[in-house]
Amino acid sequence: MSDPIFIGARIYRGSSYGAHHPLSIPRVPTVMDLCRSLDWLQPEQYRTSPCAKPAALIGFHTETYIDALQRAEATQLPDPDHDLGSLSNPVFPEVYRRPATAAGGGLLAADHVRAGGVAYNPGGGTHHGLPDRANGFCYINEPVLTIQRLIAMGLTRIAYVDIDAHHCDGVAVAFQGSDMVQMISVHEDRRWPFTGALDDTAGGAAINIPVPRGFNDTDFDLILNELILPAVARQKPDAIYLQCGADAVTEDPLSRLTLSNRCHVQAVQALRTLAPRLIVSGGGGYNPWSVGRAWSCVWATLAGHEIPDHLPPPASDILRNLRWTRKAKPTEALMTTLLDPPRNGPVSDQVQHVVTTLKTRSHIRAG
C-alpha cells in the first residue's frame, strides 16, 4: 500500500459560516498547522484539493441546485427553495467554492486509491447534503460523490463507516437499497436529523447503530469489535470510506456523547487492514481544540507517527492561540496534548441491546 496523502486547501483558512455559527471555528487549518509543526506532513504527502466543477457534482445533486448554489455565492442572497440562507445553512462568501473544494478533495482521494492506498481528506465528510438542497451545514455531499467515483472505477463492494455523532441521512438517501455500498453508522439516538433508527436498514444497505447519551469508550470498543469489524470483514470490501466526524467526543457542544479521540485512532487502525483502499474524511466537530486534536491524531495514525504525551511548545502554541465565540475556556490538556485519556465506563443497557439485536439480524450481509 502506497504512502498516505493528506488533502487540504487554502480556502479553509479564514473561511467561516459566520461569527455565530458552529462552523465559525478553524478546523482543517489547525490540523495542517499542528501536523506541520510536528514534522508529520511532508511536501510529497500533501495534495492541494481542486475545486470540483459543476458537472462533477451532478452525479448526485440536481443541476438546478448546483446552479442555485453558485448563484447564491455570486449574489450573496438567500434561496429558501434550496435551504440556502437559513440559520443552519447560511450564505457566506465561499458557499459554493468551499464545499466544492471538499468534494474535489474526495474525488482526488478516489483517484489516488485507484490501484490501492490511503487518502485523508479532513475537509470532507459532509454527509447530510441532499440532492436538491443544503442540509445540516452540508451543501454538497462529498462522501456520496466520492463513493460514486469509486463505483465508476469498477469497484463493486464499498464499506462506508460513519462515526460522526449525527446520522448520515444524505448518504442513506443516495445508497438506499444498494447492493454495492454497505453503510454502517454509529450516531446519537434521538438527535438531529432523527433518522437512522435501529430497525432502519435502508433497504438492506445499512446497519444503523443508535447510541445513548453518555456513550463511552468501552461502549465504542464493544460496537467496533462485535458489529462494525465483523460486518466489514464479511463484506470483503474493495474500498472503505471512514467518516471520522469529531463531534462524538466529550467536549463537543452538539452531542451528548462522551468518547475520547482514542476511538477515532482505534477505528482507523482496525479498518485499515480490511481493504486495499482506505479514504478517511472529517465530518462534524464544533469545539476548535477537540476537533483539531482528533483529526491530527487520525493523520498521525495513518502516516505512522507516534503521538507524543506532551506537545512541544510550537505545537502547543497553535492550540493556545485558537479562539471560540462561545468563550469556553479549554483545559490545559486540550492545549498541551493531542491524545485524550481513555474515557471508559460500564456498557449501557441500550448499547448491549443494540449489539444483541444487530448480531442476530439477517440483513447483515455475508459478502
Q: How many CA atoms lie within 13 A of 62 on its CB side?
A: 9
Which stretches of the chain are assigned E, i.e. beta strand?
5-8, 46-48, 117-121, 158-162, 181-188, 206-211, 239-243, 277-281
Question: Longest C-alpha distance within the chain, in Å?
Answer: 53
Spatial strand order of the sheet with 46-48 comes to 46-48, 5-8, 117-121, 277-281, 239-243, 158-162, 181-188, 206-211
**Cross-strand partners of 133:** 130
Tell me how crowded residue 333 is: count the other CB atoms within 10 A of its CB.
14
Name the burial class of residue 137, with classes exposed (0-12), middle (13-18) and buried (19+) by CB atoms within 10 angstroms of its CB: buried
pLDDT digits (tens, 9 = 90+) for 103-118: 999 999 999 999 999 9
Q: Which residues contact 136 (CB under 8 A, 6 or more apart)?
A: 88, 89, 128, 166, 169, 192, 193
The pTM assigned to this predicted structure is 0.97
The grid coordinates listed for 312 are 512541544
The secondary structure of 58-97 as a DSSP string is TTTS-HHHHHHHHHHHHH---BGGGTBSSSSS---TTTTH
Q: What is the pLDDT of residues 61-92, one digit of tens each?
A: 999 999 999 999 999 999 999 999 999 999 99
Per DSSP, 207 falls in state: E
Of 255, 155, 274, 269, give the one whose Cα is nearest residue 211: 255
Q: What is the pLDDT of residue 329?
A: 86
According to the model, what pLDDT value does residue 1 have? 54
pLDDT for the residue numbered 362: 55
245 touches 164 (CB < 8 A): yes
Question: What is the per-residue pLDDT for 361?
Answer: 83
Cis bond leading into 341, ω under 30°?
no
At 292, give phi and psi (nearest 5°).
-60, -40
Q: Mean pLDDT score of the chain, rounded to an integer?
A: 96
Rounded to whole angstroms, the Cα distance separating 20 from 367 reads 46
Please check whether residue 242 is in contact with residue 161, taking contact to mean a CB–CB distance below 8 angstroms: yes
What distance in Å separates the CA atoms of residue 349 and residue 364, rounded to the nearest whole number?
22
Q: Which of the residues in the chain have pLDDT under 50?
A: 365-367
Residues noted as catalytic: 128
